[in-house]
Chains A and B, each alone.
Chain A
């Protein structure tokens, strides 16, 4: 060995190694998340347009004032919240039902689980197009089925009717995301030890008691996580709505509104203000959910 015999103390050496290994990922996070977010923040206080970023002037809170006084913005906030609350609760209820079903020891469970992955794996754009076709007012299979069953008397323009379009989009999201919730809850169910269930049965718990008093409390961490993940996704929904109903005010969400301002209207200032507000909305929900999550997983950590 010709190297000098002294090296840095082991622990410090290892710490330096860790930082070196971590640095590229941190740099990437800074580049694709940190910096763009800071840019968005600073642009929100300027009159920048897509073509004139360099000459942008500071305008203070003007963009925020403008956005917050825009009825379209509030419509988008309303749509986003309705979309998130409805789709996530439906997904949770259906997902729980399907998870219990898949955990019930049916034959062909593996196949069912594989099937559950299909809607999750289908690209959102594809899901949007397929459902858009199924919702078609003249040739759509949804109208055909409902007419055949006598639920509706005449064809319905699901996506064109402002009263129905949001519900139609929500149903599509439910189709696409329920499997994800199902798989998370199924994983949670499978961590409940069988003896616990057996003990509850011996103690005389009926199926409903079992569900409410044993399974749901034990499933709480999985439920909270599923809701958190789904809520985050639902609050920033874009693809589905962009493809299914494009510019309809009846379904525009905050993400749609923001991109429209940024790209279609080329108004970087107002768009960035909307982006900041969107981020704040989602951040608040995430922080609330993380706090709700804490006590449940505190022990597991």
Chain B
């Protein structure tokens, strides 16, 4: 087990920049999730760590030792692929034995280790089957077994759950997290699914356009998004964004004016903000309050109500723009109805014209 560090790693495919000066430190014995929309470079990142692709520049080190010049076979990194990539002509046991055979282990040692891993993954009774005779979930376990069997320095998982159905995905998610804890393994999991990232990770690396948008724990990203991209990407339903203008800077925060004559003073460090510039106000649907409160409020008209049972999503139109509201329970609202919506300044995020967070401070 070892920590992985990337320094200034860049990779381009022709005109497309897949990775742009990436610096990441992936901690030892933890599960790190790399998340981002498709095309953000997250798969390339894994390939560069595994040695399947070569970075144009920068360094990759595992356990403090540079490995970017080594072929994949000598990096002691294991990988679980999205489509599992099991060897179709080999049984489950042979699949898991393959890395050990390549490492030159003896027959007996291989058999013992394969059996041990198979038991951990509860696939000991499937060892003689070929991949075609296994279900998706079983294939997934064999693929994980093949990765873990040789006790690698790090295990890379490339969208490992996206080929499974919803129920199985939830089970496997819990199982991977459990395995990681049980074995104390260093794992890097790549996904496009922010919910998967939030539920699995101890640490999340958000990638966008080949750059690290933010790194942190799940709740760090939720409460203190560093930029508009992370704010919009993490959390569902998505954060609402409203155009605004900075009107004053004071000790109690930044005052902004929204369309429809609403003024808010957001408790944030004024920092580099300047009066008169355009900004974006962000507030999560679940942080909007229905009805009159002591907070500044907007008068809205309900355009759509989606009832999910335990909660409801309401879309409204306001002078400041359309908003989504998430509330618990089953509201007795009708489309066309008008209501007041309270914006708690402490729940608001503020982003400058470049999308960088103006030191938001959520309580």
Residues on B with C-beta less than 8 A from A9 are 54
Q: Does A6 reach chain B (CB closer than 8 Å)?
A: yes
Quick check: A10 and B51 within 8 Å, CB to CB?
A: yes
14 A–B pairs (Cβ distance < 8 Å), ordered by A: A1-B74, A5-B69, A5-B70, A6-B69, A7-B69, A7-B70, A7-B71, A9-B54, A10-B51, A10-B53, A10-B54, A10-B71, A11-B54, A13-B71
Contact with A along B77-112 (1 / 0, CB 8 A): 000000000000000000000000000000000000
Provide the A1-39 mask, 1 if CB < 8 A to any CB of B, else 0: 100011101110100000000000000000000000000
Query: Which residue of chain B is the closest to A3 with respect to CB atoms?
Result: B74
Chain B residue total in the interface (Cβ 8 A):
7
Which residues of B are found within 8 Å of A5, using beta-carbon distances? Answer: 69-70
A270-B54 Cα distance, complex, nearest whole Å: 57
What CA separation (Å) do A9 and B71 show in the bound complex? Answer: 9
A11-B48 Cα distance, complex, nearest whole Å: 12
Where the two chains meet, the residues of B that have a C-beta atom closer than 8 Å to any C-beta of A are 51, 53-54, 69-71, 74
Closest A-B pairs by Cβ, 3 of them:
A10-B54, A6-B69, A9-B54
A-side contacts of B69, CB under 8 Å: 5-7
Q: How far is the CB of A12 from chain B (nearest CB, A)?
A: 9
Report, as a range, how many residues of chain A touch the other chain: under 10
Whole-angstrom CA separation of A11 from B54 in the bound complex: 8
A-B Cβ contacts below 8 A, count? 14
Instruction: Quote the shortest CB–CB distance from B279 to chain A (angstroms).
Output: 45
Task: Please measure, in the bound complex, the distance between the C-alpha atom of A7 and the C-alpha atom of B70, giving whole angstroms.
Answer: 7
Please give the residue numbers on chain A whose beta carbons come within 8 Å of chain B beta carbons, in ascending order: 1, 5-7, 9-11, 13
Q: How far is the CA of A10 from the CA of B53 in the complex (A)?
A: 7
Q: Interface residues of B: mostly helix, strand, loop or mixed?
A: loop
Alpha-carbon gap, A12 to B361, bound state (A): 50
A1 partner residues in chain B, CB cutoff 8 A:
74
Residues of A contacting B51 in the complex (Cβ-Cβ under 8 angstroms): 10
Contacts of A13 in B (CB 8 A): 71
Give the distance in Å from the alpha carbon of A240 to the alpha carbon of B74 in the complex. 59
Q: 12 additional contacts, CB 8 Å, given A7-B69, A13-B71? A: A1-B74, A5-B69, A5-B70, A6-B69, A7-B70, A7-B71, A9-B54, A10-B51, A10-B53, A10-B54, A10-B71, A11-B54
Q: Give the complex CA separation of A11 and B53 in angstroms.
A: 8
From A6, A7, A10, A11, residue with most partner B Cβ within 10 Å: A10
Question: With the chains together, A9 CA to B51 CA distance in Å?
Answer: 10
Within the assembled complex, what's the spacing in Å between the Cα atoms of A6 and B66? Answer: 11
| A6 vs B74: C-alpha distance when bound (angstroms) | 11
- In angstroms, how far is the closest chain B Cβ from the Cβ of A227? 37
State the Cβ distance, B164 to closest chain A Cβ, in Å. Answer: 30
List A contacts of B71 (CB < 8 A).
7, 10, 13
Residues on B with beta carbons closer than 8 Å to the beta carbon of A10: 51, 53-54, 71
Q: How far is the CB of B70 from chain A (nearest CB, A)?
A: 7
Q: In the complex the two chains form, what is the Cα distance from A13 to B51 in whole Å?
A: 13
Contacting residues, chain A, for B53 (C-beta < 8 A):
10
B96 to chain A, nearest CB (A): 24
A214 and B69 alpha carbons, distance in the complex (Å)? 56
A contact residues around B54 at 8 Å (CB)? 9-11
Interface centre among A5, A9, A11, A13 (most CB of B within 10 A): A5
**A13–B70 alpha-carbon span in the complex (Å):** 12
Docked CA distance A215–B186 (Å) = 58
Closest B residue to A6 using CB positions: B69
Distance A59 CA – B51 CA, assembled complex (angstroms): 61
Please report the C-alpha to C-alpha distance between residue A6 and residue B69 in the assembled complex, in whole angstroms.
Answer: 6
Q: How far is the CA of A231 from the CA of B143 in the complex (A)?
A: 50
A1 to B67 alpha-carbon distance, docked (Å): 14
Q: What is the bound-complex CA distance between A128 and B77, given in angstroms?
A: 63
Residue of A nearest to B65 (CB): A5
Per the bound structure, the CA–CA distance linking A13 and B52 in Å amounts to: 12
* Bound Cα distance A10, B51 (Å): 8
Of chain A, the residue at the smallest CB distance from B51 is A10
Q: Compute how far the CA of A10 lies from the CA of B60 in the bound complex, rounded to whole angstroms.
A: 15
Q: How far is the CB of A263 from chain B (nearest CB, A)?
A: 49
Min CB distance A185 to B, Å, is 32
Give the chain B neighbours of A11 by CB distance below 8 A.
Answer: 54
Q: B74 contacts which chain A residues (CB < 8 A)?
A: 1
Closest residue of chain B to A7 (Cβ to Cβ) is B71
Cα of A10 to Cα of B48 in the assembled complex, Å: 11
Q: How far is the CA of A13 from the CA of B74 in the complex (A)?
A: 15
Q: How far does the Cβ of B77 sit from chain A's closest Cβ, in whole Å?
A: 14
Residues of chain B lying within 8 A (CB to CB) of residue A6: 69
State A5–B74 Cα separation when bound (angstroms).
10
Task: Report the minimal beta-carbon distance from B130 to chain A, rounded to whole angstroms.
Answer: 27
Nearest chain A CB to B9 CB, angstrom units? 15
Docked CA distance A1–B70 (Å): 12
What residue of chain A has the Cβ atom nearest to residue B69's Cβ? A6
Q: How far is the CA of A10 from the CA of B74 in the complex (A)?
A: 13
A1 to B104, CA, bound (A): 13
Contact residues in A for B70 (Cβ distance below 8 Å): 5, 7
- A1 to B73 Cα, complex, angstroms: 12
How far apart are the CA atoms of A7 and B74 in the complex, in Å? 11
CA A172 to CA B44, docked complex, whole Å? 59
A10 to B71, CA, bound (A): 7
Bound form: Cα–Cα A52–B54 in Å: 58
Q: How far apart are the CA atoms of A7 and B51 in the complex, in Å?
A: 12
Q: How far is the CB of A190 from chain B (nearest CB, A)?
A: 24
Q: CA separation between A7 and B69, bound complex, in Å?
A: 7
Task: Give Cα A5 to B54, complex, Å.
Answer: 16
Cβ of A9 to closest chain B Cβ, rounded Å: 6
User: In the complex, what residue of chain B is closest to A11 when comparing beta carbons?
Assistant: B54
Q: How far is the CA of A1 from the CA of B65 in the complex (A)?
A: 14
In the complex, what's the smallest C-beta–C-beta distance from B284 to chain A, in angstroms?
44
A214–chain B nearest beta-carbon distance, Å:
36
Nearest-Cβ distance from residue B47 to partner chain A, whole angstroms: 10
Tell me the nearest residue of chain A to B72, going by C-beta: A10
